[in-house]
């Protein structure tokens, strides 16, 4: 899955109260900011995406109350449940409830089945992003729905198999340009996502991240006016600093955010 690797050993116990979620967000945001500064980048150029597949709907709502502005989910049914929980918490006005907050931007990071892609797009809305698109059929269905059903598309990212890993989904590096050129009218790609193979050494991911950035830098001028290609969704808990040093605009973090030991 293109969100984050399942941790080895016992499952992370992510449930927490509001104060703990606030402290976790501050700690992890500091890690992201430190990596951005070390890379000579503006801290606001990197979006922290909590991968909320690790937590229950109630904790997702508390995470938003704690200050999370973006949330990433990898299943449609879970997305629906967590959007509802966040909406309910924001609507509450009883004195004991956390203060109402702005609606978060939702990101879909799981494998996209073409039969579900329009439903996913509707759930995300124009402020959301689908990170894991790699099927021409899915793009065709999105284009048709946008043309006939007045669907306002979210930002669309193309999943690229930058490490040429047979175990991973995504378009091959050398097939991306042709796919972009042949996409239906009305489809605009906002950038790329990749998920390299799991490695204990973060530096093992650098080649894949660099390859994706180099591909983006090469293709962006050629597709200017048609595809934006500004976003690079890459990096997880294991290699976030390497990803940011190679230009990541979105880092998908679960394990280090949903535990207190790192």
Confidence of residue 91 (pLDDT cuts 50, 70, 90): confident
Amino acid 261: pLDDT: 61
Q: Return the DSSP state at 191.
A: E
Q: What whole-number distance in Å separates Cα of residue 25 and Cα of residue 50?
A: 9
Tell me the pTM. 0.91
Amino acid 154: pLDDT: 97
- Among 46-60, 88-102, 134-148, 240-254, the range scoring the smallest mean pLDDT is 88-102
Amino acid 165: pLDDT: 85
Amino acid 149: pLDDT: 82
Joined together, the tokens standing for residue 245 give 């040093």
DSSP E strand boundaries for the chain: 47-50, 70-73, 105-108, 129-133, 155-161, 171-172, 189-193, 231-233, 250-253
Question: Residue 11 above 80 pLDDT?
Answer: no
Q: What whole-number distance in Å separates Cα of residue 214 and Cα of residue 63?
A: 35
Higher pLDDT, 224 or 8: 224
Average pLDDT over residues 31-44: 98
- Tens digit of each residue's pLDDT (9 = 90 or more) over 205-250: 999 999 999 999 999 999 999 999 999 999 999 999 999 999 999 9
Q: What whole-number distance in Å separates Cα of residue 218 and Cα of residue 224?
A: 11
Q: Return the DSSP state at 175.
A: G
- Span 18-253 CATH architecture: Alpha-Beta Barrel (3.20)
- Tens digit of each residue's pLDDT (9 = 90 or more) over 116-161: 999 999 999 999 999 999 999 999 999 999 999 888 999 999 999 9
Reduced to 3 states, what is the DSSP secondary structure of residue 150? coil
Any idea where the domains of the chain sit in the sequence? 18-253
């Amino acid at each position: 899955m293109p969100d984050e690797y399942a941790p080895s050993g016992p499952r992370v116990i992510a449930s927490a109260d509001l104060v703990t979620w606030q402290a976790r967000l501050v700690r992890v945001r500091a890690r992201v900011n430190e990596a951005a500064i070390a890379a000579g980048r503006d801290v606001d150029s990197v979006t922290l995406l909590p991968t909320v597949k690790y937590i229950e709907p109630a904790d997702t709502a508390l995470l938003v109350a704690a200050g999370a502005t973006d949330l990433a989910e990898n299943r449609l049914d879970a997305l629906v449940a967590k959007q509802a929980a966040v909406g309910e918490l924001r609507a509450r006005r009883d004195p004991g409830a956390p203060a109402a907050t702005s609606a978060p931007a939702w990101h879909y990071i799981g494998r996209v089945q073409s039969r579900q892609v329009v439903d996913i797009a509707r759930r995300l809305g124009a402020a959301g992003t689908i990170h894991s698109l790699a099927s021409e059929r899915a793009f065709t269905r999105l284009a048709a729905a946008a043309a006939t059903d007045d669907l306002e598309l979210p930002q669309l990212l193309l999943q690229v198999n930058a490490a040429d890993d047979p175990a991973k989904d995504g378009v091959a590096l050398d097939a991306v340009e042709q796919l972009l050129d042949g996409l239906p009218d009305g489809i605009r790609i906002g950038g790329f996502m990749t998920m390299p193979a799991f490695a204990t050494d973060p530096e093992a991911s650098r080649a894949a991240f660099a390859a994706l950035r180099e591909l983006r830098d090469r293709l962006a001028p050629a597709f200017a006016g048609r595809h934006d290609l500004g976003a690079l969704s890459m990096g997880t808990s294991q290699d976030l600093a390497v990803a940011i040093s190679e230009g990541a605009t979105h880092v998908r973090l679960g394990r280090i955010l949903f535990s207190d030991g790192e």
